[in-house]
Amino acid sequence: MAHALLSPSAAKIWMSCPGMPKLAQNVEYKVGVPAATGTLIHEMVETLLKGRLQNLTLEEYYLGSTHHVEDFDITVDQDMVDCAKVYVEYIDKRMHDLDIARPLIEEKVRMPEIHSDLWGTADAILINKNHLEIVDLKSGKWAVEPDNPQLRIYALGALSRYGNEDTEVQMTIVQPRGWHKDGHIRSYYISAINLVEWGYETLKPAAEACFEEIPTYNYSEAGCRWCNARSICDTYNSKKRENVNV
Angle between helices 78-98 and 33-49 (to 10 degrees): 40
**Facing residues of 125 across strands?**
104, 134
Assigned domain for 195 exists: yes
How high does pLDDT run on average in the chain? 93
| Domain boundaries, position 193 | 28-214
Assigned domain for 116 exists: yes
Looking up residue 128, the CATH number of its domain turns out to be 3.90.320
- Check pLDDT > 80 for residue 2: no
Sign of CA dihedral 108, 182, 144, 197: positive
Rounded to an integer, the average pLDDT of 190-205 is 98
Count of the separate structural domains present in the chain: 1
Sign of CA dihedral 132, 3, 89, 187: negative
Assigned domain for 79 exists: yes
State the Cα angle at 201 between 224 and 15, rounded to 5°: 10
Assigned domain for 190 exists: yes
Assigned domain for 169 exists: yes
Assigned domain for 19 exists: no
pLDDT tens digits, one per residue of 155-170: 999 999 999 999 999 9
Assigned domain for 241 exists: no
Buried b (16+ CB within 10 A) or exposed e, 58-96: beebbeeeebebeeeebebeeebbebbbbbbebbeebbe
pLDDT tens digits, one per residue of 80-121: 999 999 999 999 999 999 999 889 999 999 999 999 999 999
Assigned domain for 197 exists: yes
φ and ψ of 152, to 5 deg: -65, -40
The reported pLDDT for the residue numbered 81 is 97
CB distance 119 to 161 below 8 Å:
no
pTM for the whole structure? 0.93
